Amino acid sequence: MAYQVTIQPSGHVYSVTDQETFLDAAIDAGLNLPYGCRIGSCGACKGKVLSGEVDYGKYQAMALTEAEKGSGLALFCCAKPLSDTVIECREVAALNGIKPRIFPVRVQMMEKLSHDVMALFLKLPSNERMQFLAGQYIEFILKDGKRRAFSLANAPHNDEFLELHLRLVPGGAFTEYVFNEMPEKAILRLEGPFGSFYLREDSNKPIIFVAGGTGFAPIKGLIEHILHQTTQREMVLYWGVKALEDLYMPALPHAWASMHPNFKFIPVLSAPAPSDAWQGRTGLVHQAVLDDFAELSAHEVYCCGAPVMVDTASVTFKERGLPADAFFADVFSYALQAPTT
């Protein structure tokens, strides 16, 4: 059975079967609802159900509280309609014309960036280009139908290859395969681009980038996109890792800082090894931001990493005055546990 869904305030109408989420059907219909993880953790797809019955699906409790549900909010990446429905959700104009597609890709090059991070450079067929926005992600489609999501680390102006940064997940079948078995020139299938983690180019507010681990990947793409535009927005990157060996591309952001006076780079180690002889910032990366900014109302924040880091940053930064619509997040799905609700 299919139900009719009306989006307010745009008035767009589309059909959703009882096997589809609001978001999946919207993507198929070419409608641009905001979203990030697609598995009920980041909260980017949160909107209001104005009328109709809804199955809320499975999601992380931190992404949708009981109070929010009581006020009519739902996560459209998880929720499914049980009747004709009217929802309230802002649509993403920047994504107009960009729809996910399935592509075969060849592994052009593999580069080990650290003890547990591998860069993959993927080549599309010669007659294909994937249109995407800096910060978006792709999903590999595995032989068993399962999917693995990874952020694009390159900017759209540099799209000869698609660049990904993969962290080795112990026991993770796909990353174990990439690190230990996959040859260069291997052929993979992917679908993309996905996500609404991209630069809001209609703003000139100073930007705080917060990366945890390989959360640096999409932020690298965003920063390279901004620098390519030669805009003068003030930017600071806080990159949090455990120890010095985990800071896998430090020369690149240091080079950005040396060439661009409007850019600053602050690496933060949470547990440096004695052999690191680290003289820089230590502790949690979100706390480093709080230590440096007593007030955040004039800024925008782009934050990417594990769910607990992103969630903590969201809450504490808003307590410092950051507007809710000035916090943009990408939550890494490999770090997620099973939905709790």
**What b-and-e string marks burial along 209-233, b requiring 16 or more CB atoms within 10 Å of the CB?**
bbbbbbbbbbbbbbbbbbbeeeeeb
- Give the per-residue pLDDT at 340: 45
Strand order in the sheet with 137-141: 147-151, 137-141, 187-194, 101-114, 117-123, 162-167
Residue 111: burial class (beta carbons within 10 Å; 0-12, 13-18, 19+): exposed
Do 82 and 118 sit in the same domain of this protein? no
- Give the per-residue pLDDT at 118: 97
Give dist(CA 38, CA 35) in Å, integer: 7
Q: What is the residue range of 17's domain?
A: 2-91
Cis peptide bond prior to 193, omega within 30° of 0: yes
Residue 52: burial class (beta carbons within 10 Å; 0-12, 13-18, 19+): middle
Domain count, the chain: 3
User: Three-class SS of residue 172?
Assistant: coil
Examine the fold and report which residue of 34, 56, 91 is the final residue of a domain before the chain moves on: 91
Residues of the chain with pLDDT under 70: 93-96, 333-341
Domain holding 85: CATH number? 3.10.20.30
Residues 234, 262: contact at Cβ < 8 Å? yes
Q: Which amino acid is at 340?
A: T
Residue 178's region, left for phi above 0, alpha for psi from -120 to 50, else beta, is alpha
The answer as to whether 202 is a domain residue is no
Backbone angles phi, psi at 183, to 5 degrees: -85, 155
Cis peptide bond prior to 253, omega within 30° of 0: no
The answer as to whether 186 is a domain residue is yes
Examine the fold and report which residue of 194, 218, 250 is the final residue of a domain before the chain moves on: 194
pTM assigned to the model = 0.84
Give dist(CA 178, CA 315) in Å, integer: 36
Residue 102: burial class (beta carbons within 10 Å; 0-12, 13-18, 19+): exposed
**pLDDT tens digits, one per residue of 260-300:** 999 999 999 999 999 999 999 999 999 999 999 999 999 99
Residues 263, 256: contact at Cβ < 8 Å? yes
Do 43 and 12 sit in the same domain of this protein? yes
Give dist(CA 65, CA 59) in Å, integer: 10
Give dist(CA 90, CA 115) in Å, integer: 42
**pLDDT tens digits, one per residue of 197-245:** 999 988 999 999 999 999 999 999 999 999 998 788 999 999 999 999 9
Do 76 and 13 sit in the same domain of this protein? yes
Examine the fold and report which residue of 165, 194, 223 is the final residue of a domain before the chain moves on: 194
The answer as to whether 200 is a domain residue is no
- Give the per-residue pLDDT at 338: 41
Do 109 and 216 sit in the same domain of this protein? no
CA distances from 264 to 235, 269, 310 (A): 6, 17, 21
Instruction: Tell me the two tokens of residue 275.
Output: 């052999």
